């Protein structure tokens, strides 16, 4: 085909592209309501005036609602702030879209309404605030300037005064009413508590068992695992636990819940010695991974994650594809071991320390040259 013919074909193809602004107006709200995170909705509203006017600028559950005050889990006469953070895969606008190599960042809204700054940049694993000395003099990060994909939301209780193992909050869609939301936390040695918006205090779930390791929102439900790897889902109305899986009978010291490609996994963490107190973690020597076969109600011993990477952070666990990020290798588990960021290779059982200071891990920080904050 001649160059002239190629140009003519391209022109004809461009002429056949639909004009999205000509869509029937009644379709715009329906399209918008299929988008559940804030960045996608902002992009939707920025297309044109008609699209912008089709949905409200203020949504029932938006990042601006955070942080908000809730009672202290132990002392309901005191209040703490529930803050929200978002993990993004961010790509350079100048990078060819075919490369699909991104960078992992975590942004937290105000941890206290009295604070003046809007966002804080955090290390995705440790949740440590990135020092201002490590970023440029500009402090504005406009996600609309980049190709940004929201991966996960995590939550924490600020100014709580005692260690919290995990906090989750749902529903997280921008369209859900925050007044219908539920928070769940694991604290102290493994107590499980639930808080509904409008309650005066947290309510203990299963006061006979204080050995819960992790909680996750999976398929619109709260799921929790105890120290023996038994997964249950929480009936938020009755505060009852309904057993969902048989006991894993893993001999590790700590169980983590991870959702990956629509499946539920338990990552069993082994220490070199039994932890001597609830918040002390000895050095990690091994991991084992199990997938729950929900159809048969059995556990599958997983030896190969293929291109998946499991990230066990302080406030959330997530699974990403190594092909989507620069510097990552599949079949690996990233985790915090006492004070170090480390990588465990599930294939050969080897462990590598990335950096002594979690804030300077090269896979998470400093940012690439095209990212300037």
pLDDT digits (tens, 9 = 90+) for 234-253: 998 898 999 999 999 878 88
Domain that holds residue 314: 63-360
Average pLDDT over residues 102-129: 71
In the predicted model, what is the mean pLDDT of the chain? 78
How many whole angstroms separate alpha carbon 232 and alpha carbon 215? 10
Token pair belonging to 45: 């509203």
Answer whether residue 8 is part of any domain: no
How many whole angstroms separate alpha carbon 239 and alpha carbon 236? 5
The pLDDT tens digits of the residues spanning 313-353 come to: 888 999 999 988 877 889 999 998 877 788 999 999 999 88
The pLDDT tens digits of the residues spanning 172-217 come to: 776 667 777 899 999 988 999 999 888 889 999 987 777 899 999 9
User: Locate tokens 């599958």: which residue?
Assistant: 300
Q: Give yes or no for residue 135 having a pLDDT over 70.
A: no
Domains: count for the chain: 2
Answer whether residue 261 is part of any domain: yes
Name the nearest CA neighbour of 55 among 81, 26, 79: 26
Count Cβ atoms within 10 A of the Cβ of residue 334 and give its class: 0-12 exposed, 13-18 middle, 19 or more buried. buried
Token pair belonging to 203: 């309510």
Average pLDDT over residues 91-113: 71
49 and 67 housed in the same domain = no
245 and 104 housed in the same domain = yes
Helix ranges restricted to H, the chain:
3-16, 27-32, 38-45, 49-54
Residue 349 makes CB contacts below 8 A (sequence gap 6+) with 286
How many whole angstroms separate alpha carbon 238 and alpha carbon 226? 19
Ramachandran category for residue 216: left, alpha or beta (phi over 0 → left; psi -120 to 50 → alpha): beta
Indicate the pLDDT class of residue 12, thresholds 50, 70 and 90.
low
What is the pLDDT at residue 7? Answer: 43
What is the pLDDT at residue 61? Answer: 59
| Strand-pair partners of 204 | 193
39 and 161 housed in the same domain = no
Name the nearest CA neighbour of 338 among 278, 286, 281: 281
Give the total residue count for the chain: 373
The pLDDT tens digits of the residues spanning 158-180 come to: 766 667 889 999 877 766 677 77
Indicate the pLDDT class of residue 89, thresholds 50, 70 and 90.
confident
Q: Give yes or no for residue 359 having a pLDDT over 50.
A: no
What is the pLDDT at residue 368? Answer: 59
Q: Give yes or no for residue 14 having a pLDDT over 70.
A: no
Average pLDDT over residues 86-96: 78
Name the nearest CA neighbour of 359 among 130, 106, 87: 130
- Could you give the count of Cα atoms lying within 13 Å of 28 in the half-sphere of its Cβ? 20
3-class SS of residue 202: coil
50 and 88 housed in the same domain = no
297 and 330 housed in the same domain = yes
129 vs 166, which has greater pLDDT? Answer: 166
39 vs 170, which has greater pLDDT? Answer: 170
43 and 67 housed in the same domain = no
3-class SS of residue 7: helix
Cα–Cα distance list, 1 to 8, 10, 13, 17, 222 (Å): 11, 12, 16, 22, 58
152 and 47 housed in the same domain = no
């Amino acid at each position: 085909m001649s160059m002239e013919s190629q140009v003519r074909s391209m022109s004809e193809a461009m002429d056949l592209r639909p004009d999205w602004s000509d869509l029937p107006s009644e379709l715009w709200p329906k399209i918008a309501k299929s988008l559940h995170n804030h960045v996608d909705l902002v992009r939707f509203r920025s297309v044109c005036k008609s699209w912008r006017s089709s949905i409200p600028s203020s949504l029932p559950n938006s990042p601006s609602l955070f942080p908000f005050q809730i009672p202290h889990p132990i002392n309901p006469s005191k209040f703490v702030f529930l803050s929200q953070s978002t993990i993004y895969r961010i790509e350079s606008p100048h990078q060819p879209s075919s490369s699909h190599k991104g960078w992992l960042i975590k942004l937290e809204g105000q941890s206290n309404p009295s604070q003046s700054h809007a966002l804080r940049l955090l290390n995705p694993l440790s949740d440590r605030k990135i020092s201002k000395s490590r970023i440029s003099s500009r402090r504005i990060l406009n996600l609309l300037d980049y190709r940004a994909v929201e991966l996960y939301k995590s939550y924490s209780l600020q100014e709580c005064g005692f260690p919290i193992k995990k906090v989750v909050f749902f529903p997280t869609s921008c369209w859900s009413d925050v007044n219908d939301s539920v928070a769940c936390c694991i604290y102290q040695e493994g107590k499980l508590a639930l808080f509904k918006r409008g309650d005066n205090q947290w309510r203990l779930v299963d006061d006979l068992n204080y050995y819960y390791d992790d909680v996750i929102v999976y398929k619109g439900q709260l799921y929790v695992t105890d120290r023996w790897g038994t997964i249950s889902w929480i009936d938020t109305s009755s505060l009852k636990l309904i057993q969902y899986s048989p006991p894993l009978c893993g001999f590790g010291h700590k169980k983590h819940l991870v959702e990956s490609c629509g499946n539920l996994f338990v990552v069993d963490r082994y220490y070199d010695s039994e932890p001597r107190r609830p918040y002390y973690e000895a050095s990690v020597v091994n991991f084992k991974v199990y997938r729950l076969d929900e159809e048969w109600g059995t556990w599958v011993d997983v030896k190969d994650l293929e291109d998946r990477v499991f990230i066990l952070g302080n406030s959330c666990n997530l699974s990403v594809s190594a092909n989507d990020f620069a510097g990552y290798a599949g079949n690996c588990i990233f985790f915090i071991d006492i004070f170090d960021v480390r990588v465990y290779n599930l294939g050969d059982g080897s462990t590598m320390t990335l950096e002594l200071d979690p804030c300077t891990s090269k896979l998470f920080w400093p940012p690439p040259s095209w990212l300037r904050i």
